A = this chain, B = another copy of it.
């Protein structure tokens, strides 16, 4: 089969690889119909993720059709339409039993990381019963590709951890796909104010269209000042970090109101300075989270009921044969204006 393979820092190729097979009774093999590329895949390609070995098939997002199941798989059978979760969960360990699937003792984020991933014609999914989600056979499956990772991530790490509630004021720092997924799911809770911050006016325009009540371009370094103005000097109830660099984290510290939350979503490569000399008495909460995908069933319902429209984030389409161009488009988002790119199998 065809698969996108990591060949060491800066190198990748669409290569021919053997089709995976069921190895353990709890495995399934899924024929991928659509997949996408995540910011993390770009990090891997830069060589920033040491757990990814040369030769690994990348990708942790996708929808497809069950091809084969192991003897202990009871919830799925060949032919079922499924969503692949970016988090593989055994459903049995201490962590999975408390909803901390991201820290599943043997699973977690392993697809396209420590085992082969979804940017391929087929993928093997361990603990299929608790790592796949059934899709309605008839529906258009493209929106669901967005539910493998970015929507649960924005919703769990940003919206739930940010304790967004009716009437609240929220700032989302970063209007990339994750920030926008946060923006869309934040609206599940009717906040009074959602301020979106970015340096790219095009993305801020999209944010405005997708429900931001205010947008702030932070290029001039005066974002904190303007957000405090917008909130009458008080700051926001929830400051959501969706970038992953010290500057944006710092902005969050400057704008969070007393008793507010800083919900970190960004993947950080270095430490940050935390202003405890001021924050110790501000009754704030700071949260971090690798997505657990415990909200996937709920998000499926909101898509099926029409409440959530994930396609709003899809800007480009490619076929698997053309995945090199998909990577280029996604990697140069400022020019291409890409948010999420969808890659369809040839057999799709």
Could you list which residues of chain A lie within 8 angstroms of chain B, going by C-beta atoms? 25-26, 71-72, 74-75, 90-100, 102-103, 129-130, 165-167, 185, 187-190, 192-193, 213, 244, 249, 258-259, 264, 266-277, 279-290, 292, 294, 297-302, 304-305, 307-308
Asked if residues B276 and A284 are in contact (CB atoms below 8 Å), the reply is no
**A92 CB contact (under 8 Å) in B91, B166, B304:** B91
Q: Can you list 9 residue pairs at the A/B interface with Cβ under 8 Å?
A: A25-B72, A71-B71, A75-B93, A102-B283, A167-B299, A189-B190, A276-B288, A284-B288, A285-B285
Q: Which residue of B is nearest A194, CB measured?
A: B305
Asked if residues B276 and A249 are in contact (CB atoms below 8 Å), the reply is yes
Measured CB to CB, the closest approach of chain B to A172, in angstroms, equals 16
Please give the count of copies of this chain that the complex contains.
4
Query: A284 to B157, alpha carbons, bound, how many Å?
Result: 11
**A279 CB contact (under 8 Å) in B189, B190, B288, B301:** B288
Instruction: Give 7 A-B pairs besides A25-B71, A273-B273, A273-B274 with Cβ atoms closer than 8 angstroms.
Output: A94-B297, A98-B259, A103-B258, A166-B185, A271-B274, A282-B288, A283-B292
Knowing A25-B72, A269-B277 are in contact, say whether A302-B166 is a contact too (CB < 8 A): yes
Contact residues in B for A266 (Cβ distance below 8 Å)? 280
